[in-house]
Amino acid sequence: MATKSNNQKGWFFVLPVVALVAFNALIPLMTVVNYSVQETFGNNQFFWEGITWFADVLASERLQASLGRQLFFTGTILIIEIPLGIAIALAMPKKGVWVSVCLVLMALPLLIPWNVVGAMWNIFALPDIGLLGRMINGLGFDYNFTQNPTAAWLTTILMDVWHWTSLVVLLSYAGLTSIPDAYYQAAKIDGAGSWAVFRHIQLPKMKRVLTIAILLRFMDSFMIYTEPFVLTGGGPGNTTTFLSIDLVKIALGQFDLGPAAAMSLIYFLVVLLLSWLFYTLMMKNEDQ
């Protein structure tokens, strides 16, 4: 084995990145840490509080409830978007002019700013003037997402599925098109049916991109703010108040910086922990 050369000059090259990360992540994060263990009444006066805020936040029923809603929301959209995304990707043409048409159509929702998506769906789903809302009511269902929690949830989930399934589709499609033809030909000769082809060729070959897709969708949906905020404002009541909406209410609505900071850190750790767990589990078998 070659001996490692000891070259301290290497640090010099890493310095720009370290500085960049420090300014855009570490220093802001440390500010949050700073707030989370102190109490302030303005005038730049701070009082040490220790872990009080963390204990408060963890014990708070309100936050437990929004965490529950958040988990339910993320779980639901993952269960819908991942299989749906794979199914659409499988149904997309593999060559010809329609490929570009499909890709552009699929990419469109991803290009729309989040608050516009919220506003679009808000108007689209309004029971009196919205196309969707009017239609559902016209069919005889009592649908009003501004008043009925179930309708609010359905609309929020539908909006997210509309906005983000494309991402899963595009990633899955990229995974699918990278499978060499020989695999399909061999499967044909081996007498494999379409389920066997999916189970033993397509799904394993898509594993990496799907891992990325699930991670991205998990993180994004777990931190979702703008779209439901514009669509429902967290209501009716607080039935669609997700973690980040609650966080903003505490931090900017009530200006409780201490609890808000503590909650941010817990929030951050939950996302980090779940992502790490998922990724480790998915990649466990890779090296064998």
Partner 1 sequence: MAVIRLKDIRHSYAANPKEGADWALKQMDVEWQDGGAYALLGPSGCGKTTLLNIISGLLTPSHGDVWFDNLNVTSQPADTRNIAQVFQFPVVYDTMSVYDNLAFPLRNRKIDEKIIDIRVHDIARMLDLEHRLKERASGLTADGKQKISLGRGLVREDVNAILFDEPLTVIDPHLKWQLRSKLKELHGRVGATMIYVTHDQTEALTFADQVVVMYDGQVVQIGTPIELFEQPKHTFVGHFIGSPGMNVLQCQLDQGKAIVAGHQIAVVNTLAAPDQLTEIGVRPEFIKFSKNGMAVDIVKVNDVGRHSIVESKMGDHDLKIMVPEGQPIPSDGAHVIFDTAYTGFYVDGWLQERD
User: Binding to partner 1 by residue 196, rule CB under 8 A?
Assistant: yes
Work out how close the CB of 207 gets to partner 1 at its nearest, in angstroms, rounded to a whole number.
Answer: 9
Q: Which of 22, 186, 281, 283 binds partner 1 (CB under 8 A)?
A: 186
Angle formed by the axes of helices 61-91 and 52-59, nearest 10°: 70
Q: Is 188 in the site for partner 1 (CB under 8 A)?
A: yes
Determine, following the binding rule CB under 8 A, whether residue 62 of this chain makes contact with partner 1: no
Residue 134 touches partner 1, criterion: CB under 8 A: no
Q: Using the 8-state DSSP alphabet, how is residue 269 labeled?
A: H
98 touches partner 1 by CB under 8 A: no
- Told to check if 205 binds partner 1 by CB under 8 A, we report yes
> CB–CB of 120/112 below 8 Å?
yes
| DSSP state string for 224-268 | --HHHHHHTTT-STTTT--HHHHHHIIIIIS--HHHHHHHHHHHH
Q: Please identify, among the stretches 29-37, 72-80, 179-187, 218-226, the one whose residues bind partner 1 according to the rule CB under 8 A.
A: 179-187
Dist CA 270 CA 58 (whole Å): 12
DSSP state of 5: P
204 binds partner 1 (CB under 8 A): yes
The minimum distance between CB 187 and partner 1, in angstroms, equals: 8
| Minimum CB distance to partner 1 smaller for 17 or for 182 | 182
214 within 8 A of 204, measured Cβ to Cβ: no
Span near partner 1 by CB under 8 A; candidates 45-53, 82-90, 195-203, 268-276:
195-203
Binding residues for partner 1, rule: CB under 8 A, are: 180, 182-183, 185-186, 188-193, 196, 200-201, 204-205, 288
